[in-house]
Amino acid sequence: MNTSIQSRGKVVLFYPPYDGPPLGAPLSLLALAGTLREARFEVVLIDAAIQSRYLDRIAEECKSALCIGISVLTGPMIRGAIVAAQHVKRHAPHVTVIFGGWHPTLCPESTLREPYVDIVVRGQGEVTIVELAAALAAKHPLDLIAGISWKRDGRLIQNFDRRVQPIDTFAQPAFDLTDFDSYERVTGKRELAYATSVGCPYACNYCTDMVVYKRRFNAYDAGHVVAELTGLVQRYRITHVALLDSNFPVDLRRAIAITQGIVDSGVKFSWTFQASTDFICRMTQDEVQLLADSGVNYMGFGTESTSKTVLKMMNKRHQRVDEMYETARKASLAGIRVNFNLILGYPGETEADRLETFRTMSDIGNQFRNVRFSPNIFTPYPGIPIWPQLRELGVSEPQTLEDWENMPLGANLLPWLKSRELSRLNRMLEYFLLLNQARRRSSGDSFLKRLTTSLICNPIRWRLKASLFFFPWELWLSRFSEDIVKRRSLVTGAELPVESANVC
């Protein structure tokens, strides 16, 4: 064998099971695999979404591995990460367990305190994982590796931060490691999760994007995106691309050049992205039509509220109500579906603010049939800038990794949403969703559904106007004819389990 291409060691990468419908291969781990392979490490990627006996596979692969890297988001995904890490400690104790991703980045100390976690990687992982794997392979000290937290003799050590690096300096994510057929079997779709950028210039108080990416939009140029994306679509017969960018059209010229490039390539696929409404409003109607012509069939917006006071408290002044209407209108003319995410129960929000949001959003839904809504009760995720205020308001912050896993993704954490107010809010919410769902009735629906619609729409409108929600007969009646869709993914618009909350 030619020693110049001999592997420097094996790195196992694991994506634990998560709530909700699977969304293609995890780009976080494909990105790490790209730079690791470039540095001549062998990579094995295990995604619980498609691998049924993943613990057995982890144990098997770890026998000959240097380390295992586990990607973790806050919430139920932590459970799978813990189980896998403990499994590795039992079956392959020589293997270093590395946790990375958003949760460990935001809570490095509480993550590292667990005996089954050896190292935490904070922030972007492409370069850090290579430096780590190289140090582990050569048994070198870890003191000079930026962006990690680790343990020496049981003591937690926090190395200095790694600066955010331009994404176009990294090797291409290892898309070829994706078993598209397996994902298709599980999801029924031939889908690619892809990012053209990271970071968002805004600083909403409930979002951690700025904590990690420091408000710097960091993107591939349009030519790179068009060539890579259309190439991948053709090579793997992809029919849908879900862009994972936090705010895709921040650089409008780039966004339009990408769109034009996709049209010019003649490669056909549908695609979706998340954005803030101000950027769509800055596009001309022709440009929004170009999005549709290139295959965009859905856009997700974190509109959150229509109360100016609440938007101000969220530090979200860029999200204007008139621009929500304008975005809905432009997308409607172009035939693009839109999802408006709403956050309810934000600290400082009054019932009047809530009602204003329900009424205005109902009006938008009434005028534009392409708009759907995904309302969530505010969830205090780790590291969000508003935490000092939350602590003052009596929200108790989970202290351990397991506490964060068990964090209810809902209202029970919020002292200002006590039981009566919470049930009133939930009832308003159901009315709001029912009204918007009922409006969408078409002649193809069952007689029972159409009958329910004709009976309930006006009374619900009256309730939202009068703010009276007692004796909810419309909700009881509707239960005979349908399930109300409560939550949708902001990334794809797909229905989500009821327990999930907030962004994304």
Residues in the site for ligand SF4, rule: CB under 6 A? 200, 202-204, 207, 209-210, 246-247, 276, 302
Q: What is the DSSP letter of 169?
A: G
Q: Which of 74, 66, 132 is nearest to 501 (CA)?
A: 74
The site string for ligand B12 over 51-70 (x = CB under 6 A, - otherwise) reads ------------------xx
Interface of this chain with ligand B12, residues 154 to 213, rule: CB under 6 A: 193, 195, 207-209
Pick the closer one to ligand B12 by CB: 207 or 219: 207
Report in angstroms how near the CB of residue 103 gets to ligand SF4 at its nearest: 17
Closer residue to ligand B12, CB minimum distance, 145 or 438: 145
C-alpha gyration radius of the chain:
24
- Residue of 19, 38, 228, 402 interacting with ligand B12 (CB under 6 A): 19
- In degrees rounded to 5, what are phi and psi of residue 351? -65, -35
Q: How far is CA 66 from CA 133, 351, 486, in A?
A: 7, 55, 44
Q: Residue holding tokens 């919410």?
A: 429
CB of 246 to ligand SF4, least distance (A): 4
- Choose from ligand SF4, ligand B12, none: what does 71 bind? Cβ within 5-8 Å by kind: ligand B12
Instruction: Give the residue nearest to ligand B12 (CB).
Output: 100
Tokens of 270: 């549908």
For residue 434, the one-letter residue type is: L
Least distance between ligand B12 and beta carbon 15 (Å): 7
Told to check if 18 binds ligand B12 by CB under 6 A, we report yes
- Which residues in the 239-268 window bind ligand B12 by CB under 6 A? 244-246
CB of 302 to ligand SF4, least distance (A): 5
- Token look-up 């030619």 returns 2
Tell whether residue 103 is a contact of ligand B12 (CB under 6 A). Answer: yes
The smaller minimum CB distance to ligand B12, of residues 278 and 405, is found at 405
Residue 149 or 274 with smaller CB distance to ligand SF4 = 274
C-beta of 9: minimal distance to ligand SF4 in Å?
36
Measure the CA–CA gap between 26 and 415, rounded to whole angstroms: 35
What residues pair up with 46 in beta bridges, in sequence order? Answer: 14
Enumerate residues 444-473 that contact ligand B12 by CB under 6 A.
none
Least distance to ligand B12 from the beta carbon of 100, Å? 2
Contacts of 271 (CB under 8 A, 6+ apart): 240, 241, 242, 243, 262, 294, 295, 296, 297
DSSP-assigned beta bridge partners for residue 344: 377
Does 24 bind ligand B12 (CB under 6 A)? Our answer is yes
Asked if residue 398 binds ligand B12 (CB under 6 A), the reply is no
Look up residue 444 and give its DSSP letter. Answer: T
Q: Please select the residue that binds ligand B12; options are 101, 249, 375, 380, rule is CB under 6 A.
A: 101
Which residue has tokens 């922030």?
123
Per CB under 6 A, contacts with ligand B12 among 105-164 are: 106, 121, 124-126, 129
324 binds, among ligand B12, ligand SF4, none (CB under 5 to 8 A by kind): none
| Binding of residue 319 to ligand B12 (CB under 6 A) | no
Strand order in the sheet with 155-158: 42-47, 10-15, 67-71, 96-100, 119-121, 148-152, 155-158
| Strand order through the sheet with 240-243 | 191-194, 240-243, 270-275, 296-304, 337-344, 371-377
Q: Minimum distance from CB of 412 to ligand B12 (Å)?
A: 15
Q: What number of residues does the chain have?
A: 504
The 335-374 site mask, x for binding ligand B12 (CB under 6 A), equals ----------------------------------------
- In 3D space, the residue among 160, 141, 161, 162 whose CA is nearest the CA of residue 152 turns out to be 141
DSSP string, 186-252: HHSS-EEEE-SEE--S---TT--HHHHHTT--EE--HHHHHHHHHHHHHHHT--EEEE--SSGGGSH
Residue of the chain from 10, 12, 23, 288 that contacts ligand B12 (CB under 6 A): 23
Total residues at interface with ligand B12 (CB under 6 A):
46
- Which span (15-23, 394-402, 417-425, 428-436) binds ligand B12, by CB under 6 A? 15-23
317 C-beta neighbours (distance < 10 Å), count: 11
Does 491 participate in binding ligand B12 (rule CB under 6 A)?
Answer: yes
Residues that bind ligand B12 (CB under 6 A): 18-20, 23-24, 26-28, 31-32, 69-71, 73-77, 98, 100-103, 106, 121, 124-126, 129, 193, 195, 207-209, 244-246, 381-382, 409, 491, 500-504
